[in-house]
């Protein structure tokens, strides 16, 4: 299944981004640090700056940093993996992604949208809770999203909900965005409610959020019985 991950789309895009990032340096040890507390130091225009991995507002404001940090250095492959897996499963069911009207939740700077566009989806609407994400997508991937809303799905304004329902999305994607306070279970549930029936869902979630001892709420929202050998991780 790892063959589903490719780097063609984001690398081609990064070559067109004018980045001022001169270097990325990681701490010597990360023992005892949770995933949402990880950080690095970057060299930017001759100065050193510390960036926490989950400070997305700061990361998105720096062109190319998200791609260089998470995809070039840390080898994340979730957007391509999930998009390619979705396309593969859809084909197995005799359908085609070119009929997909996608709602991309936690869209960030548009990396998932970029991958979906390569598969020829009909349209993509992005949603994120921070303005810097929409700004980065517009700056680096200006032709990917038909629309991009900065909104809180747990407190969705009526006019925005009406607009989203008129879009009649039949596919929901949320990649590398669930958990750790980024997209809570209630927001994910609201996004699901905006998708037509029947519809498609493509997402990834750290397996610890599905265990019985999880306190985030995802294990109750997604009550999937599993054992360690059945997990697929991207």
- Token pair belonging to 55: 């400070």
Q: How far is CA 54 from CA 1, 35, 41, 51, 155, in A?
A: 27, 9, 14, 8, 22
203's torsion region: left (phi>0), alpha (psi -120 to 50) or beta?
Answer: beta
Higher pLDDT, 84 or 181: 84
Yes or no: say if 147 and 169 are a contact pair by the CB < 8 Å rule. no
What domains does the chain contain, in order, with CATH numbers?
2-73 (no CATH), 78-221 (3.40.50.150)
Yes or no: say if 190 and 156 are a contact pair by the CB < 8 Å rule. yes
- Which residues lie below 8 Å from residue 166, measured CB to CB, with a gap of 6+? none
How far apart, in whole angstroms, are the C-alpha atoms of residue 211 and residue 124? 32
Q: Kindly report the pTM of this predicted structure.
A: 0.84
50's torsion region: left (phi>0), alpha (psi -120 to 50) or beta?
Answer: beta
Angle (CA) 147-152-153 rounded to 5° is 85
At 64, the pLDDT band (50, 70, 90 cuts) reads: very high
Yes or no: say if 123 and 101 are a contact pair by the CB < 8 Å rule. yes
Higher pLDDT, 231 or 18: 18
At 4, the pLDDT band (50, 70, 90 cuts) reads: confident
At 29, the pLDDT band (50, 70, 90 cuts) reads: confident
Strands (E), the chain: 21-25, 39-44, 47-52, 101-105, 123-128, 147-150, 171-174, 200-203
pLDDT of residue 219: 44
What tens digit of pLDDT does each residue of 84-132 get?
999 999 999 999 999 999 999 999 999 999 999 999 999 999 999 999 9
- Token pair belonging to 71: 């995809």
């Amino acid at each position: 299944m790892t063959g589903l991950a490719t780097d063609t789309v984001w690398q081609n895009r990064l070559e067109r981004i004018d980045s001022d990032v001169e270097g990325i340096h990681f701490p010597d040890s990360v023992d005892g640090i949770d995933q949402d507390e990880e950080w690095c130091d970057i060299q930017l225009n001759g100065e050193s700056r510390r960036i926490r991995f989950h400070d997305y507002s700061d990361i998105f404001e720096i062109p190319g940093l998200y791609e260089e940090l998470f995809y070039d250095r840390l080898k994340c492959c979730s957007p391509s993996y999930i998009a390619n897996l979705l396309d593969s499963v859809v084909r197995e069911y005799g359908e085609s992604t070119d009929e997909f009207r996608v709602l991309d939740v936690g869209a960030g700077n548009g990396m998932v949208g970029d991958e979906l566009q390569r598969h020829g989806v009909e349209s993509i609407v992005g949603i994120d809770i921070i303005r810097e994400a929409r700004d980065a997508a517009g700056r680096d991937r200006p032709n990917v999203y038909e629309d991009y809303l900065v909104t809180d799905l747990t407190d969705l304004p009526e006019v925005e909900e009406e607009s989203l329902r008129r879009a009649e999305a039949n596919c929901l994607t949320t990649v590398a965005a669930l958990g750790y306070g980024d997209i809570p279970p209630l927001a994910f549930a609201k996004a699901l409610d905006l998708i037509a029936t029947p519809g498609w869902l493509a997402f990834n979630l750290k397996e610890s959020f599905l265990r019985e001892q999880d306190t985030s709420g995802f294990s109750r929202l997604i009550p999937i019985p599993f054992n360690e050998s059945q997990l697929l991780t991207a």
